[in-house]
């Protein structure tokens, strides 16, 4: 019997969100194969929820206290030393990094450790637009360009994300693939029970924004769109699900502007949110491959989303939802179309379920990763 392939995965933090959902599903799907996973991850921010808290873990975990999203030269140096020690102890065949910060530190540590591991990095999105000013963005691009020379293979979660990175000079097209996210089996709760559990009232059509309340997600645009849409239609309720640095600002704006929005904060059981939701809304300035929109589609929910990043690979405009310009007026018009056309809303939901279930299963994700690793190891000289 062949020796198992040891894979170390590194991610900055396993907060409630797309990358964590994807990694958990991927590692759970491959626990009975020839791949042996070790996940190295850091600490979530105070206003974030830990994804792994209530999960069954079938893989090895290493949590590094000082691995965090913000750059800190002292902490980052210490993390690199810790990573080198873990690499030399575990002696992985593959080091696979995820997200920007973990990708930078993990690959630097791998190079310094001089262990003969394959280096793979996944871009779950990118920081080219909307996150930093010109100088910081230029530094990150420069670092990524240099590290790409030593990275055996790059992955992006969508074709548009991949092309944006290649256009910026990051990576080589021949060693840069696309690996769509994978989502496991989804479920729905009884709608009436979920309404009671969440403290909601009555049977209304509900539209939900689900995600981090941060600048890049443009929750302000969501509030503006709701204000433009609001025709004092008492049968429509908007839900704001998530937390972040703009939570308090949102609370004050909703109260000041008397918007029909109920704030629910972070919810560990996202299935209950989907169970009471009829339409999901995304208003971001930048997205990689938004897993929350995949999950919405798998539950038969239509989506209204700004046409950014690889969103159009999840939401098929006019078939599974509506893509809009990053303008509150355009979003409000899309809301009116779906809210007042139940037939269209239902048809989009049915199409969304078929499209997302076929394209974004976690079993496909695990299978594709296994095949990639085998191909890379077989192709590598002296492997």
Residues 210 and 117 in one domain: no
Specify the higher pLDDT residue, 217 or 18: 217
Both 144 and 40 in one domain: the answer is yes
Closest of 182, 216, 117 to residue 368, by C-alpha: 182
* pLDDT tens string 340-351: 999 999 999 999
Average model confidence (pLDDT) across the chain: 89
Q: pLDDT band at 382, cuts 50/70/90?
A: very low
Do residues 157 and 222 both lie within one domain?
no
3-state helix, strand, coil in the chain (%, to 5): 45, 20, 35
pLDDT at 136 over 80: no
- Count of domains forming the chain: 2
Instruction: Give residue 92's domain range.
Output: 5-184+361-379
pLDDT in tens, 218-267: 999 999 999 999 765 557 899 999 998 999 999 999 999 999 999 999 88
Euclidean distance between CA atoms 220 and 256, whole angstroms: 14
Residue 224: alpha-carbon gap to chain centroid: 24
Q: Are residues 142 and 173 in the same domain?
A: yes
Percent of residues, the chain, with pLDDT higher than 70? 93
Residue 201 has pLDDT above 60, yes or no: yes
Together in a domain, 114 and 214: no
Would the pLDDT of 134 be above 70? no
1 confidence band (pLDDT: 50, 70, 90):
very low
How would residue 132 be classed by pLDDT, with cut points 50, 70 and 90? low
- β-sheet bridge partners, residue 205: 236
- Is residue 264 domain-shared with residue 215, that is, in the same domain? yes
Phi-psi region of 198 (alpha: psi -120 to 50; beta: other; left: phi over 0): alpha
* 8 A C-beta contact, residue 281 and residue 207: yes
pLDDT band at 383 (very low <50, low <70, confident <90, very high): very low
Q: What is the pLDDT of residue 313?
A: 93
Of residues 145 and 140, the one with the higher pLDDT is 145
**pTM, to two decimals:** 0.81
CATH code: domain of residue 23: 3.40.50.2000
Mean pLDDT of 108-116: 91
For position 171, what pLDDT does the model report?
92
Please give the backbone phi and psi of residue 292, each rounded to the nearest 5 degrees, phi first: -60, -30
**What is the 8-class DSSP label of residue 173?**
G
Residue 127: predicted pLDDT: 61
R_g (Cα) of the chain, nearest Å:
21
Give yes or no: residues 93 and 57 share one domain. Answer: yes
pLDDT tens digits, one per residue of 38-89: 999 998 877 777 888 877 788 899 999 999 888 889 999 999 999 999 999 9
Question: Are 234 and 219 contained in the same domain?
Answer: yes
| Distance (Å) of CA 62 to CA 55, 67, 135, 228, 236 | 15, 11, 33, 47, 45
CA angle, 318 then 324 then 325, to 5°: 150
């Amino acid at each position: 019997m062949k020796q198992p392939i040891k894979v170390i995965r590194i991610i900055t933090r396993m907060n409630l969100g797309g990358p964590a959902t994807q990694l958990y599903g991927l590692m759970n799907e491959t626990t009975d194969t020839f791949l042996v996973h070790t996940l190295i991850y850091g600490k979530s921010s105070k206003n974030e929820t830990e994804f792994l808290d209530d999960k069954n873990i079938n893989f090895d975990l290493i949590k590094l206290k000082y691995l965090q999203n913000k750059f800190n030269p002292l902490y980052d140096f210490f993390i690199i030393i810790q990573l080198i020690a873990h690499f030399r102890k575990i002696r992985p065949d593959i080091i696979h990094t995820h997200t920007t910060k973990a990708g930078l530190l993990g690959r630097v540590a791998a190079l310094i450790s001089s262990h003969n591991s394959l280096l793979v990095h996944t871009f779950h999105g990118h920081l080219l637009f909307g996150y930093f000013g010109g100088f910081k963005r230029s530094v990150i691009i420069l670092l990524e360009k240099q590290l790409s020379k030593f990275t055996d293979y790059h992955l992006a979660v969508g074709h548009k994300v991949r092309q944006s990175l290649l256009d910026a000079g990051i990576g080589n097209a021949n060693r840069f693939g696309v690996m769509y996210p994978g989502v496991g089996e989804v479920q729905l709760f009884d709608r009436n029970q979920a309404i009671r559990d969440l403290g909601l009232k009555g049977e209304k059509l509900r539209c939900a924004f689900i995600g981090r309340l941060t600048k890049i997600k443009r929750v302000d645009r969501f509030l503006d769109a709701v204000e433009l849409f609001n025709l004092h239609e008492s049968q429509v309720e908007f839900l704001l699900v998530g937390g972040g640095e703009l939570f308090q600002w949102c609370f004050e704006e909703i109260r000041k502007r008397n918007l029909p929005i109920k704030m629910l904060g972070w919810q560990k059981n996202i299935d209950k949110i989907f169970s009471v939701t009829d339409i999901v809304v995304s208003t971001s300035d930048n997205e990689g491959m938004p897993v929350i929109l995949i999950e919405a589609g798998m539950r038969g929910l239509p989506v209204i989303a700004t046409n950014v990043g690889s969103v159009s690979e999840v939401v098929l405009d006019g078939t599974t939802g509506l893509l809009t310009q990053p303008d509150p007026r355009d979003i409000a018009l899309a809301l009116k179309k779906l809210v007042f056309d139940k037939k269209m809303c239902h048809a989009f939901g049915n199409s969304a379920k078929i499209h997302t279930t076929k394209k974004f299963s976690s079993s496909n994700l695990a299978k594709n990763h296994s095949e990639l690793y085998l191909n890379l190891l077989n192709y590598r000289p002296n492997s």
